């Protein structure tokens, strides 16, 4: 039994999202008033009652959100940002380094909480579940920082909500893309998509050549990661289908070297794919970039260089050590 | 997100059912045509599920179940943006920019490379200090922009966009290519779990240590990109600030 679970923070997120929906519904000047309000309200429902309502109902709620987004009914409020540069500079001159305290409190709480909270228990009752320590600590950090920020700036409680709502609308419907992609990854895994590709590759390539086995494995890791948006999901398929049978069993390669460098080849794929939306698409929107794919474009040369280096590293090391 | 289906992995000798790849095709075509990604993803899921013989309701239920299971991906962003928004309204970005202006050595590229080094080292020790919403937007991107402004004055919009995209790239590269060196989280434990299930005896330490060469390569590659970024910033600002009428030379 755990005293604090992630579910409590999901409820807080649900309330925040509901307030965002409420602000939009109350904003007569919002260009996509009702579609946007409905979108955020539906998302709020999945956070507030996700565990309670049957998955098929959640599924249709998600489908409704997708239809709203695809029909261009989800938009940002037309209003200008809540502050002018002059105002911000004036505040900055007053607050100076104190502005950094809340921003630094988030990672500080996250680190301290991750290290300490999971160890706290009262008899058989634990404070938190160890596997959730990082997320709970980060969430606590955000809440503490909010408290500290409000105290330092003397801003009304409505300000963080207004600013948060503005930032969330900047991200817009893409906020749910990572969750949706994770769901797609699950469906791909269930249908055995990876196994089909691995099987095709293994049959088509001349695996008796040691270098081809390395190329096929690293390439599969990167390719699957690009398709699934997640190197962890690709690892089992690529390693089971190509890595173990060919590099380890056929050519006697070192499994530790293969796995380590193989996983990092997968990460090169992560840098290249819109399917890893939480790393590549959401940040582009969060940084207010015009091109949704700008982050991927900035990363592409790095990813290619690292991938080639991985290929050579694995080829020269995996059969030697 | 981290689903491991080990027993299924060894089924590769079974004749492949190519029809299951229809979802991949939908993704490629949909993203290629720049259709709404949410729609593309749902269509790919439905196509894949139907091709694997799942009833429509069942596919939708899977989407619902996995959507709820993966709520943790959205949680940090929603909880962090209110406080970041509050601080930004009180001049956090301006402060980060002013802070960096005091350093004569700072350039956009150097700020980002230093951030990547710190990010990589900390995550290799198991400490996550970064994040796009937590650190990159409020602090790192403004610092990189500020360093460029301190040198070259006003920046063209295109240059600002490029610097910000590289800030996100530094966060991702630092995050990914440091993580595998730490044995107690994520990737290394996942690999260990896979090998245990497959009956292959592999220790966690060799896997962690063999992550180091790639981590160094990643840092060097980002160093090269940051150097290129600085040259690009210099070029673009020079072009933008050149008085009109002197012609393009």
Q: What is the ipTM of this complex?
A: 0.87
Strand partners, A122: A125
pLDDT tens digits, one per residue of A197-211: 888 888 888 888 899
For B48, the closest of A143, A178, A187 (CB atoms) is A187
Q: Tell me what pLDDT residue B4 has.
A: 44
Instruction: Classify residue A78 as exposed, middle or buried by CB count within 10 Å of its CB (0-12, 13-18, 19+).
Output: exposed
Residues of A in contact with B167 (CB under 8 A): 287
Residue A13 counted as domain residue: yes
**Average pLDDT across chain A, whole number:** 90
Same domain, yes or no: A23 and A171? yes
- Position of tokens 């582009």? A284
Q: Is residue A28 part of a domain?
A: yes
Mutate to test the interface with A, among B1, B127, B219 (most CBs of A within 10 A): B1
For residue A181, being part of any structural domain is answered with: no
Which pLDDT tens digit goes with each residue over A290-304?
Answer: 999 999 999 999 999
Of B12, B52, B138, the CB nearest to A199: B12
Mean pLDDT in chain B? Answer: 85
Mutate to test the interface with B, among A90, A171, A263, A292 (most CBs of B within 10 A): A263
SS3 state at A2 = strand
Q: Which residues of A touch B88 (CB under 8 A)?
A: 88, 163
Q: What is chain B's Cα-based Rg?
A: 23
pLDDT digits (tens, 9 = 90+) for B88-124: 889 888 888 888 888 888 999 999 999 999 999 988 8
* Number of Cβ atoms within 10 Å of the Cβ of A317: 18
Would you tell me which residues 52-81 of chain B have a C-beta closer than 8 angstroms to some C-beta of chain A?
Answer: 52, 54, 57, 59-81
With an 8 Å Cβ cutoff, are B172 and A279 in contact? yes
Indicate if A202 and A131 belong to the same structural domain: no
| Chain B residues within 8 A of A61 when measuring between CB atoms | 64
Chain B residues close to A166, C-beta within 8 Å: 85
Kindly state whether B154 is in contact with chain A, defined as any CB-CB distance less than 8 angstroms.
no
Residue B49: Cβ-neighbour burial (10 angstroms; 0-12, 13-18, 19+): buried
Instruction: Provide the terminal-to-terminal Cα distance of chain B, rounded to the nearest Å.
Output: 53
Residue A186 falls inside a structural domain:
no
Query: Is the Cβ pair A91, B5 closer than 8 Å?
Result: no
Q: Would you state the structure tokens that stand for residue B203, as one six-digit string?
A: 């220790």
pLDDT grade for A20, boundaries at 50, 70 and 90: very high
> Is residue A157 located within the same domain as residue A29?
yes
- The CB-side HSE value for B161 (13 A sphere, CA atoms) comes to 15
- Where in the sequence is the domain holding A255, given as residue range(s)? 192-318
DSSP structure class, residue A81: P
B173: nearest Cα among B228, B108, B220 = B220
Average confidence (pLDDT) per 10 residues, chain B, 249 residues: 44 58 88 88 92 91 92 90 91 87 89 95 83 91 93 92 97 91 74 85 87 94 96 92 55
- The candidate with the shortest Cα–Cα distance to B114, out of A282, B91, B210, B122, is B122
Residues A9 and A151 in one domain: yes
Is the backbone of residue B186 left (phi > 0), alpha (psi -120 to 50) or beta? left
In a domain, A285, yes or no: yes
Residues whose CB falls within 8 Å of the CB of residue A291, separated by 6 or more in sequence, listed in order: A284, A297, B161
Give pLDDT, residue B144: 95
Say yes or no: A13 and A153 in one domain: yes
Is residue A30 located within the same domain as residue A115? yes
User: Touching check for A4 and chain B: CB below 8 Å?
Assistant: no
Number of domains, chain A: 2
Task: Report yes or no on A135 lying in a domain.
Answer: yes
């Amino acid at each position: 039994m755990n005293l604090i679970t992630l579910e409590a923070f999901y409820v807080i997120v649900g309330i925040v999202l509901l307030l965002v929906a409420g602000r939009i519904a109350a904003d007569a000047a919002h260009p996509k008033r009702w579609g946007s309000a409905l979108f955020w309200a539906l998302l709020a429902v999945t956070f507030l009652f996700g565990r309670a309502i049957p998955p098929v109902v959640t599924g249709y709620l998600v489908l409704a959100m997708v239809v709203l987004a695809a029909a261009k009914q989800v938009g940002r409020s037309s209003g200008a940002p809540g502050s002018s540069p002059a105002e911000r500079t004036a505040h900055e001159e007053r607050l100076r380094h104190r502005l950094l305290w809340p921003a630094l409190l988030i990672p500080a709480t996250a680190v301290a909480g991750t290290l300490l909270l999971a160890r706290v228990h009262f008899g058989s009752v634990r404070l938190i579940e160890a596997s959730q320590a990082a997320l709970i600590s980060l969430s606590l950090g955000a809440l503490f920082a909010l408290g500290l920020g409000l105290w330092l700036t003397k801003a009304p409680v409505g300000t963080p909500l207004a600013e948060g709502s503005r930032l969330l609308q900047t991200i817009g419907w893409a906020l749910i893309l990572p969750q949706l992609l994770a769901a797609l990854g699950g469906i791909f895994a269930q249908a055995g998509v990876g196994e089909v590709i691995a099987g095709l590759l293994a049959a088509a390539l001349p695996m008796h050549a040691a270098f081809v086995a390395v190329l096929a494995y690293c390439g599969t890791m990167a390719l699957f990661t690009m398709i699934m948006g997640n190197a962890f999901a690709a690892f089992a398929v690529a390693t089971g289908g190509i890595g173990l049978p060919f590099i380890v069993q056929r050519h006697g390669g070192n499994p530790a070297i293969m796995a380590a460098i193989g996983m990092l080849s997968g990460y090169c794929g992560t840098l290249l794919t819109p399917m890893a939306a939480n790393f590549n698409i959401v940040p582009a929107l969060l940084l207010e970039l015009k091109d949704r794919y700008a982050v991927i474009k900035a990363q592409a040369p790095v990813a290619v260089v690292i991938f080639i280096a991985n290929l050579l590293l694995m080829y020269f090391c995996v059969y030697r050590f | 997100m981290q689903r491991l289906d080990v027993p299924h992995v060894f089924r590769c000798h079974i004749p492949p059912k190519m029809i299951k790849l229809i979802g991949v095709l939908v993704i490629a075509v949909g993203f290629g045509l720049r259709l709404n990604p949410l729609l593309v993803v749902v269509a790919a899921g439905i196509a894949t599920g139907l091709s694997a013989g799942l009833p429509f309701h069942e596919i939708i239920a899977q989407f619902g179940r996995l959507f709820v299971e993966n709520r943790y991906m959205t949680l940090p962003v929603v909880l962090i943006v209110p406080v970041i928004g509050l601080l930004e309204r009180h001049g956090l970005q301006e402060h980060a920019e002013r802070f960096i202006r005091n350093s004569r050595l700072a350039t956009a590229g150097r700020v980002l490379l230093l951030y990547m080094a710190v990010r990589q080292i900390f995550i290799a020790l198991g400490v996550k200090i970064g994040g796009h919403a937590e650190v990159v937007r409020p602090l790192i991107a403004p610092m990189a922009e500020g360093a460029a402004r301190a040198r070259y004055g006003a920046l063209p919009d295109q240059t600002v966009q490029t610097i910000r995209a590289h800030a996100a790239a530094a966060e991702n590269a630092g995050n990914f290519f440091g993580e595998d060196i730490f044995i107690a989280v994520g990737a290394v434990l996942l690999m260990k779990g896979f090998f245990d299930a497959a009956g292959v005896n592999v220790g966690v330490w060799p896997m962690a240590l063999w992550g180091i060469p790639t981590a160094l390569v990643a840092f060097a590659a980002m160093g090269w990109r940051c150097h290129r970024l600085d040259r690009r910033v210099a070029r673009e600002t020079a072009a933008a600030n050149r008085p009109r009428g002197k012609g393009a030379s």
